[in-house]
């Protein structure tokens, strides 16, 4: 396998590490339970948008960390346990609020009694990117060996272009799995909104419970490191087993995941272009046109004056 191929698969595996493993199912559960602003009509585009935002946050943090490591600045790793516990605390508070039926700042979920329709200012792109960045920070320590392998590959090239290409392949690898899962969650959300409307009032609460569980996991996992011990906890063995199973599945199906994610992105791009062309045709067809004043009308206006 080429260096770019190794970096691509390494980025894919970074998303299923035991340190931040609980963040992935929590994101999917939260996304399914909190429909966006009319996005249920276009689940493919909604999923691609959410997946791209989470991927940008996740891959961005790992790329920056990799470049810092390439420069020899390893002090950043010492802050990971503190930041991870802080993220866990925020997730616990947000999860408790959502589980109690409250809304996150900037996001409201309204359920019409008569129609059962959903509307929300919902989960913004910035919030999704922030979640991806938090996911990456929590995952950084467990993915350090993989990240160092990518850094070593990049430094071995001796070329800035090749270095950036390797990090781009790493980011694309992480994005392919996250986008694929986000699109699947968007279609699940669409199915929930259309066919299981009785669950809509509790869907957001269940997403809150998932965030609460993810936050509790991060606190439990990283708290021992704050006291000078080793990261991990009573539940770390279970998470490690689940992460190992997910890693094996990703390694076995890496090519299929990449092809599926690429195909979805292509379909999304075609959908956007088709929609844009349709909108332009409607504007050209139905836009009001000003009619020129006829000579007779001009003469009548002169008589009036």
Per-residue pLDDT tens over the stretch 99-146:
887 765 544 433 333 333 333 334 578 888 888 898 888 888 777 777
Which residues lie across from 120 on neighbouring strands? 109
Residue 287 — very low, low, confident or very high, per pLDDT cuts 50/70/90?
low
User: How many Cβ atoms from other residues are within 10 Å of residue 254's Cβ?
Assistant: 18
pLDDT of residue 116: 36
Residue 195 — very low, low, confident or very high, per pLDDT cuts 50/70/90?
low
Name residue, tokens 């070593």: 152
pLDDT of residue 121: 39
Q: Inform me whether the pLDDT recorded for 87 exceeds 80.
A: yes
- Provide mean pLDDT across the span 268-293: 63
Q: What are the distances in angstroms from CA 82 to CA 24, 58, 86, 113, 293?
A: 20, 18, 6, 44, 73
Instruction: Express each pLDDT in 241-276 by its tens digit.
Output: 877 888 888 888 888 888 888 888 788 788 777 766
Name residue, tokens 């206006």: 301
User: What are the backbone dihedrals phi and psi of residue 109, each rounded to the nearest 5 degrees, phi first?
Assistant: -120, 115
- Whether residue 149 contacts residue 13, with contact meaning beta carbons closer than 8 Å, is answered with no
> Quick one: 216 exposed, middle or buried, by C-beta within 10 A (0-12, 13-18, 19+)?
middle
What does the DSSP assignment read for 269-296? HHHHHHHHHHHHHHHHHHS--PPPPPHH
> Quick one: 242 exposed, middle or buried, by C-beta within 10 A (0-12, 13-18, 19+)?
middle
pLDDT of residue 223: 83
**Dist CA 31 CA 88 (whole Å):** 18
pLDDT of residue 118: 34
pLDDT of residue 111: 34
User: How many Cβ atoms from other residues are within 10 Å of residue 193's Cβ?
Assistant: 21
pLDDT of residue 12: 87
pLDDT of residue 282: 59
3-state secondary structure of 110: strand
Six-digit token string for 193: 């909104």
Q: What are the distances in angstroms from CA 102 to CA 110, 123, 232?
A: 11, 14, 31
Instruction: Express each pLDDT in 24-37 by its tens digit.
Output: 888 888 777 665 54
Between these two residues, 119 and 193, which has the higher pLDDT value? 193
Highest mean pLDDT among 44-48, 51-55, 206-210: 51-55
**Dist CA 186 CA 303 (whole Å):** 66
What does the DSSP assignment read for 196-255? -GGGHHHHHHHHHHHHHHHHHHHHHHHHHHHTTS-S--TTHHHHHHHHHHHHHHHHHTHH
Six-digit token string for 51: 């997946």
pLDDT of residue 108: 42
Instruction: Express each pLDDT in 198-233 by its tens digit.
Output: 666 677 777 788 888 888 888 888 888 887 777 776
Name residue, tokens 């899962």: 181
Instruction: Express each pLDDT in 60-80 by its tens digit.
Output: 888 888 778 777 766 767 778
């Amino acid at each position: 396998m080429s260096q770019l191929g190794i970096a691509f698969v390494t980025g894919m595996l970074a998303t299923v590490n035991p340190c931040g493993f609980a963040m992935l199912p929590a994101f999917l559960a939260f996304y399914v339970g909190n429909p966006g602003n009319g996005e249920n009509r276009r689940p493919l585009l909604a999923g691609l948008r959410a997946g791209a935002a989470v991927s940008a946050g996740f891959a961005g943090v790992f790329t920056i960390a990799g470049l810092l490591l390439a420069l020899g600045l390893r002090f950043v790793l010492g802050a990971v346990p503190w930041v991870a516990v802080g993220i866990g605390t925020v997730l616990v508070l947000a999860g408790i609020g959502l589980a109690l039926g409250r809304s996150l700042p900037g996001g409201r979920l309204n359920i019409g009694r008569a129609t059962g329709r959903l509307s929300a200012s919902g989960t913004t792109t910035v919030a999704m990117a922030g979640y991806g960045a938090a996911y990456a920070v929590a995952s950084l320590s467990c993915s350090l060996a993989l990240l160092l392998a990518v850094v070593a590959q990049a430094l071995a090239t001796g070329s800035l272009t090749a270095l950036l290409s390797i990090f781009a392949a790493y980011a694309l690898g992480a994005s392919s799995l996250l986008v694929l899962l986000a699109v699947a969650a968007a279609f699940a959300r669409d199915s929930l909104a259309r066919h299981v409307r009785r669950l809509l009032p509790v869907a957001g609460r269940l997403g809150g419970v998932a965030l609460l569980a993810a936050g509790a996991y991060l606190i439990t996992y990283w708290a021992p490191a704050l006291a000078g011990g080793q990261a991990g906890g009573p539940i770390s063995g279970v998470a490690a087993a689940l992460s190992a199973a997910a890693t094996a599945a990703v390694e076995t199906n890496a090519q299929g995941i990449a092809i599926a994610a690429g195909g979805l992105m292509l379909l999304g791009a075609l959908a956007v272009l088709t929609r844009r062309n349709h909108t332009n045709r409607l504007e050209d067809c139905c836009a009001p046109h000003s009619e020129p004043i006829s000579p007779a009308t001009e003469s009548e206006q002169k008589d009036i004056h």
